[in-house]
Amino acid sequence: MSDNLAPAFNGFRTLPHAQVLSLSGPDAVAFAQAQFANDVPSLADGHWQWSTWLTAKGRVLSIFQLVRVDAGRLLLVCHDGGAEAMAEQLRRFVFRRKVVISLADNLPVSGALHAPVSAQGAAIAQLDEGVIELDVGCVALPRSLHLGAAAGAASDAEALIWRQSDLRLGLPRLVEAQREQWTPQQLGLDRLAAYSVKKGCYPGQEIVARTHFLGKAKRSLALLECDGVVAPGDGVEQAGAAIGSVASAAGNLALAVLPLELAEGELQVRAAATRIAPLVDGLAR
């Protein structure tokens, strides 16, 4: 799979929309633990995890990489932007905690479709000139991410290729209209180990835990390959009946929320023939 993508994406390219949010100060970890769905204190310095920020009703606001540089500094890599609005909302919950929330404009985000030089799995690597390297791929689809390195801007075609590689790995890319629509289970975020059902209170925690322990999840994520271009919000049909919805799309690829128990038969999106394709494992951290 990666062999088909690499020739069209040679070297590092600055990724559009991606932004980095910084949480710094002695209370950064405690603040993040109270707000985000994954277990931050269990994350070692120099490592990262997938995480998500939820509404009180357990709906996904943002999916991001949470990088623990050290005990006093966290970085949130927000691939779908919105970091300024997220920072503004988070500041409302600071109260007396010693944490500074700011946009890290000095850390542009660039990606490449090859394995990292030093970073591996959840362990980050500190390169020359303050560049942070992250491993955001797997054996079947190797990818690297650099924070703080200069790189040429990705063309529209390259940005599409990167976005499609995200979808193949099961990483939903949410446009504004798809935020606050889905639970972590519906978006398959368990595949990324992006939330915890064991940690203490955080926004939406009761909904997430109840769905998990009572087995009430009826829908989850599926990768679709379509015979036409699709868009977030498009309906998925089978035998003329609506059965699901596209949550994330890139060209003819989509991640859709579909019933866990799906009858056999052809699917359609925008009346175009659509097939369920296997997701690539290995992006969980």
Which residue has 């296997």 as its token pair?
A: 278
DSSP codes, 203-269: TTHHHHHHHHHTT---EEEEEEEESS---TT-EEEETTEEEEEEEEEETTEEEEEEESS--SS-EEE
Domains of the chain: 2-168 (3.30.1360.120)
Report residue 203 as tokens. Answer: 């926004």
Nearest C-alpha neighbor of 1 from the set 225, 227, 165: 165
Look at residue 10 in the predicted model and tell me its pLDDT: 79
pLDDT in tens, the chain (285 residues): 444 555 567 799 999 999 999 999 999 999 999 999 999 999 999 999 999 999 999 999 999 999 999 999 999 999 999 999 999 999 999 999 999 999 999 999 999 999 999 999 999 999 999 999 999 999 999 999 999 999 999 999 999 999 999 999 999 999 999 999 999 999 999 999 999 998 889 999 999 988 888 877 788 999 999 999 999 999 999 999 999 999 999 999 999 999 988 888 899 999 999 999 999 999 999
Contact in structure between 107 and 148 (CB atoms under 8 Å): yes
Residue 7 confidence (pLDDT): 55
DSSP helix, strand, coil percent of the chain (3-state; round to 5): 20, 35, 45
Token code pair at residue 90? 């988070």
For residue 1, what pLDDT is reported?
44
d(CA 22, CA 281): 29
3 membership: H or E segment, kind and range: helix 2-5
- CB burial of residue 111 (10 Å; 0-12, 13-18, 19+): buried
Neighbour tally for 231: CB within 10 Å:
14
CA-based torsion, 166, 280, 263, 225: positive or negative: positive
